[in-house]
Chains A and B, each alone.
Chain A
Amino acid sequence: MLADLPYLPVTEAAARLRRKEFSPVELTEACLERIAKTDGQLHAFITVTADLALEQARQAERELMRGSDRGPLHGIPIALKDLYATKGIRTTCHSAVLQDWLPDFTATAAVKLTEAGAVLLGKLGMHEFAFGGPATDAPFPAVRNPWNTAHVPGGSSSGSGAALAAGLCLGALGSDTGGSIRTPSSHCGIAGIKPTYGRVSRCGVVPLSWSLDHAGPMARTVEDCALLLQAIAGHDSKDPASVNIPVPDFRLELKRDIKGMRIGVPRENWFDEQKGTDRETETVFNAALRTLKGLGAIIVEIDGKPFANARKANQTILVAEAYAYHEKRFQEAPEKFGTSVRRRMLEGAFLSAADYIAALRARTVLGEQIRALFSHLDAFATPTVARPPETFDGLDPNEQNLRPNFTNPFNLAGLPAISVPCGFTEGNLPVGIQIAAQPFKESTVFRVAYAYEQMTDWHKRRPTL
């Protein structure tokens, strides 16, 4: 019985902890045992903080026993992408550049999780500095997909996706600059939300691209994502992009039906861009749209041109800002970076200020065009990724430029967007659907995703390990 605990949704674990069916220590021990047993195949964790986790679990147990309840995350084991600074705990960004970095402060979002009583199991593998692809020349092995270890788990929050799919933790934090929460969520068959830009503090999250970076939660259910976001959202004066706007109760609207909601599908001029969307992926996505329609949503096909144009602006801004952040390191010791991230980030060295400004101008126009669509729509739906996870052997670094990128327009426009599982390929690899909504309307995103999730059981499937 205890061996099954790591796969519990946070909501159920929280309820059963309060019924004293098991303790936070037993739950944490079950996760640590599962990590010890299975992570050798997956490499989801870079650092396991077993002693700290057990100490925090014992503290949670004592507090809950005396009736001091910090809320639904109290005693829940979670893990962090290894770009969240953690005081006294190695924070590597999966890179030789930072492999010995012991921060003297903790990222705001991680502090908030600790204050909510969460138990930190450790730090998770990722794409080096949240960019490029899975590194084969980094000091830590590349994370593998629990559904088939010959396949990539998606990135850059690859450890977060793999750890959740494999039942190694109950919740995790990722970061998302062009799809880095949603892509591994899709490829690993879990849920993950990129909140609105400014909703969650990035203080202490090592930057990739200041104006596109978002911090956010990943979990196995939509409601768990809502719980985690509730804990980490809110204004932080230490993040200049943080917005001082009230945080609603994200679970309040969760169970409302979606009858009459208008969901835009920007298929024309986007889904068939260049090599187009993988046919199996689009078939699975179309079936998910039929489910949403069955729930009373109105599916509206719209022009995808503004979304397709967003990729160029997103990539230009991203490499320019990423190179600016790392310039000194590239000048001093470029060999410390892995090949994949080095070659792509260095493209930013050769862009001009006028190139960067052109991309920011595009951002103004495309953001306005995309937001204007909300005059007659409540949300957008797309596949999360245009193709199922590739094999490590078949990885082509240019592939992502040859297919539509469904995630990065929502970074450019700063809109909240979630990925939830919506099916599997014939090869038993997960496929995700992405739902996006207006700025600061995470509740709408959760409502649509939750309604869909309740009608399906994709999120209940488990990989065999």
Chain B
Amino acid sequence: MPSDITLDELRLRSARAGLTLSDQELQHMLSGVNRSQEQAAVLRELFADEIEPAHHFLLVLKG
């Protein structure tokens, strides 16, 4: 399981994503961001690599 994201890391990631957010805003978001990261990490543990994602490209020819 990855370690929690800190406020400093969130500030960096936020800037990389092209977002301009205040420290106060980032602080408010921190627990939610860590919860969603944890959820994704649990999913990675639970579901093995050989499973195909539920996402398919459908080739539809028009005309």
A residues in contact (CB < 8 Å) with B: 211, 309, 312-313, 315-316, 319, 330-331, 334, 343-344, 346-352, 354-355, 357-365, 367, 401
Contacts and interface: CB of A to CB of B under 8 A. Distances in A.
A363 B53 contact: yes
A312 B42 CA distance: 8
Contact of B5 (A316, A350, A358, A363): A350
14 contacts: A315-B39, A316-B39, A316-B43, A330-B19, A334-B19, A346-B29, A347-B36, A351-B36, A357-B55, A360-B54, A361-B51, A362-B46, A363-B54, A365-B51
B14 interface: yes
A190 B32 CA distance: 32
B43 A350 contact: no
B27 to A, nearest CB: 11
Contacts of A354: 44
A331 B40 contact: no
Interface of A, secondary structure class, is: helix
Contacts of A331: 17-20
Most chain A CB atoms below 10 A, which of B10, B14, B32, B37:
B32
B7 to A, nearest CB: 13
A359 B29 contact: no
Contacts of A360: 53-55
Nearest to B44: A358
Contacts of A316: 36, 39-40, 43
B40 A358 contact: yes
Contacts of A346: 19, 21, 29, 33
A409 to B, nearest CB: 13
Contacts of A348: 36
A310 B37 CA distance: 16
Contacts of B44: 354-355, 358
A312 B5 CA distance: 19
B61 to A, nearest CB: 13
A331 B14 CA distance: 10
A185 B54 CA distance: 29
A330 B17 CA distance: 10
A401 B52 CA distance: 27
B14 to A, nearest CB: 7
Contacts of B51: 361, 364-365
A344 B32 contact: yes
A358 B39 CA distance: 10
Contacts of A362: 43, 46-47
Contacts of B18: 331
Contacts of B43: 312-313, 316, 355, 358-359, 361-362
Q: Looking at B42, B47, B51, which has the most chain A CB atoms within 10 Å of its CB?
A: B47
A365 B21 CA distance: 37
A319 B42 CA distance: 16
B2 to A, nearest CB: 11
B1 to A, nearest CB: 13
Nearest to A413: B54
B54 A367 contact: yes
Contacts of B40: 312, 316, 351-352, 355, 358-359
A355 B25 CA distance: 24
A334 B47 CA distance: 34
A350 B28 contact: no
A364 B5 contact: no
Interface string B41-63: 01110110001111100000000
A364 B52 contact: yes
B32 A347 contact: yes
Contacts of B28: 343
A346 B32 CA distance: 9
B8 to A, nearest CB: 14
B53 A361 contact: yes
Contacts of A352: 40
A325 to B, nearest CB: 15
Contacts of B14: 349-350
A233 to B, nearest CB: 21
Given A309-B46, A331-B19, A347 B54 contact: no
A367 B53 CA distance: 11
Contacts of A364: 47, 51-54
A364 B17 CA distance: 29
Contact of A350 (B10, B25, B53, B54): B10
B36 A365 contact: no
A417 to B, nearest CB: 18
